Amino acid sequence: MSIFSKLFGKKDAEPTEKVGGIQDFMTLIRVYYQATMASNLGITNVAFLPDMAVFKRTLKIPTQNNKLGVAEKSRCKKMLIGIYGITEDFFKEIDASIKKNCKNVNDVRNYLFMFQGFSNDLMMLMGNLMQWKFRLPGFMKKAMYTMTEKSINDIMTKNNWKDAATAKACMDVRKYQHALGYSPKWMTEYAYNIIMMAKKEKQPKEEV
């Protein structure tokens, strides 16, 4: 059962979910985005940011200096670094992207919707392009990172795709990437972490 299933009292989590898995990672990513938006834009209604609201309430995080999002962002960042080894540059790019795209509260939902589309299309493409590479042993992390990096580069630069659906998906990801402002390095770190977690979660349970 995942960290947040335990924290939030959820009893319906899949038994194959592992602590620090994809569900936890994506929850923390959403919390970080929402906390950054809250602190940048001066949002005072915590109900407007549902993932951060649950995170704040569950971990009993006090509001810092009467400004919503500041303490929540710091706590969430520490968890992402501690559990997943996320780099400082990863957070800097998120901060810059939100600052560029979210000038007021009305921009928040559009941004989160755009990021969701970007994430879904990117990971669908990664699944199609890497396929057999997912079967590499878990200890070959360096090789997996290099392959992930190459696939990201192909998505961003290759134009002679045989499959029309793949070509269209690549163009969609490029449009999202241009609007959001994320670098290929950021995309590689994001995709690599999700891929490695997916590999772990698919491993069969050891017999007792």
Reported as a single tens digit per residue, the pLDDT across 154-175 is 999 999 999 999 999 999 999 9
Indicate the pTM of the whole model: 0.86
- Shared domain for 144 and 60, answered yes or no, is no
Q: What percent of the chain has pLDDT over 90?
A: 73
- Shared domain for 62 and 121, answered yes or no, is no
Q: Which of 50, 44, 89, 48 is nearest to 70 (CA)?
A: 44
- Shared domain for 40 and 121, answered yes or no, is no
Q: Which amino acid does the sequence have at 204?
A: P
Any idea what DSSP says for residue 137?
A: -
- Shared domain for 42 and 118, answered yes or no, is no
- Shared domain for 150 and 198, answered yes or no, is yes
Domain boundaries, position 145? 109-208
Is 24 among the domain residues? Answer: yes
Q: What is the pLDDT of residues 110-159, one digit of tens each?
A: 999 999 999 999 999 998 888 756 565 555 788 889 999 999 999 999 99
- The answer to whether residue 4 scores a pLDDT higher than 60 is no
Total domains, the chain: 2
- Shared domain for 57 and 137, answered yes or no, is no
- Shared domain for 48 and 113, answered yes or no, is no
- The answer to whether residue 56 scores a pLDDT higher than 50 is yes
- pLDDT on residue 1: 41
Average pLDDT, the chain: 86
- pLDDT on residue 196: 86
Q: Which of 190, 201, 188, 187 is nearest to 20 (CA)?
A: 201
Q: What percent of the chain has pLDDT over 70?
A: 83
Residue 203: pLDDT band (50, 70, 90) is low
Q: Which of 19, 16, 199 is nearest to 5 (CA)?
A: 19
- Shared domain for 169 and 208, answered yes or no, is yes
What b/e readout covers 140-156, taking b as 16+ CB neighbours within 10 angstroms?
eeeebbebbbebbeebe
Instruction: Name the residue with higher pLDDT: 135 or 197.
Output: 197
